[in-house]
Structure 1
Amino acid sequence: MLFLTLISYAAVLIQIVFITIAIAAGLYYLAELVEEYTSAAKKVIWWMNTTTLALYVFLWIFENFPISMIVFGILAHLVHYIILKNFPYVSFSSLGFLAAVVLIIINHYLAFSYFAAVYHPFFEVIAYFTLYLWLVPFALFVSLSANDNVLPTTAERIDGDVVSNYFSKRNKKYGLLSFFNYAKETLLPVRTKKGF
């Protein structure tokens, strides 16, 4: 019995590794799509945000969730519209981005407090977290790499002229796609072609 138990633990670890690789590949593909089709990604995120706001209204009408959870959730999604205004350019020090981060933390605290006090089945809890708290912020997180190859705009603060600012910041990439490219270049073996 001990051997089969150890084998099952090893199998679970292997499954976790495969799931992690699959999620990373999916994120890489989504980041590529967002980088290639930024205007379509902006529309998709806008519609996801609008749908989530409508879901908050339905939650207020049909369920008796605390009004603080609903109000802070609606505020968070209204702030996401501010972030989408300059999409794909996202400034991490902007008031909209900082307010979105603070509201996400507050929403998670309120949700954990509520679900710890009031029993709901696991699938209802995970549905709330997925649709109300994680969907739009996750989409905005994946779309951060879309800013890597965008030409400078008037939304950015420009030091000097436009051309020198673009070339000085061109190699500084901090998005999700650049992280995956860095991981691919450093972790995976490089195949060299032999010239005959």
Structure 2
Amino acid sequence: GPQDALFSQLPLSAGLYYLAELIEEYTVATSRIIKYMIWFSTAVLVGLYLFERFPGFMVGVGLFTNLVYFGLLQTFPFIMLTSPNFILSCVLVILNHYLAFQYFADEYYPFSEVLAYFTFCLWLIPFAFFVSLSAGENVLPSTVQPGDDVVSNYFTKGKRGKRSGILLIFSFIKEAILPSRQKMY
């Protein structure tokens, strides 16, 4: 029933929240991991072209998309949603999906292989960039508030009070579902 759907979504939401926290905390490692994912996707696309005879245009668009992702990685974690690179990557994601749907509608492959293609070549890298969108907002020097001195940082134990991006959304959802109890003195 509906409660099953709710309880199946809670672990997913908690996992996404934790993943966003990790990405925000370790931006250099995240950048390196995304770079390796792009290289892996590139190798898979080349392999599909050489050994599975995937269409050259589809593979070429996929390789160009990976090149655009490398461009996004140059400014990581600072990704401007209005930058030509970001807008082009969004358009290319849609184009890649269209080409993949067209190809797999004509050519039979087992569902697991189609799912693997979509996961590794189309979904993984954009998802990593999406989850990491909030990371750059908390790294900027301009986000330092006047009260962020050593003493106030010590008393708050280094916790960030201001959240933004996907972490802000998850914080609101968490508070709505599981409101925190405050100490009464």
The answer to whether the superposition gives a TM-score over 0.5 is: yes
The answer to whether the aligner puts 1:176 opposite 2:166 as a matched pair is yes
Q: Secondary structure at the match of 1:190?
A: coil
Give the superposition deviation at 1:166: 6.2
Q: How does 1:95-134 map to 2 (within 5 A)?
A: 95-134=84-123
Give, in whole Å, the separation in 2 of the partners of 1:148 and 1:41.
Answer: 15
Give the superposition deviation at 1:189: 2.4
Letter in 2 for 1:34: I
| Runs of 5+ unmatched residues, structure 2 | 146-160
Instruction: Percent identity, please.
Output: 47
Give the superposition deviation at 1:104: 0.2
Give, in whole Å, the separation in 1 of the partners of 2:175 and 2:95.
Answer: 38
Counterpart in 2 of 1:40?
Answer: 29
Counterpart in 1 of 2:137?
Answer: 148
TM-score (norm 1): 0.80
Give the root-mean-square deviation of aligned CA atoms. 2.2
Q: Deviations over 1:144-179 (max 9, x none)?
A: 110121124xxxxxxxxxx6x865xxx996521121
Letter in 2 for 1:135: L
Q: Deviations over 1:104-132 (max 9, x none)?
A: 00000011111112221111111110011
TM-score (norm 2): 0.85
Q: Per the alignment, do residues 19 and 179 of structure 1 end up closer, same or farther by CA in structure 2, a change over 3 Å counting?
A: same
| Runs of 5+ unmatched residues, structure 1 | 1-9, 153-162
Give, in whole Å, the separation in 2 of the partners of 1:148 and 1:181.
Answer: 16
Give the superposition deviation at 1:61: 0.7
Counterpart in 2 of 1:51?
Answer: 40
Structure whose alpha-carbon radius of gyration is higher: 1
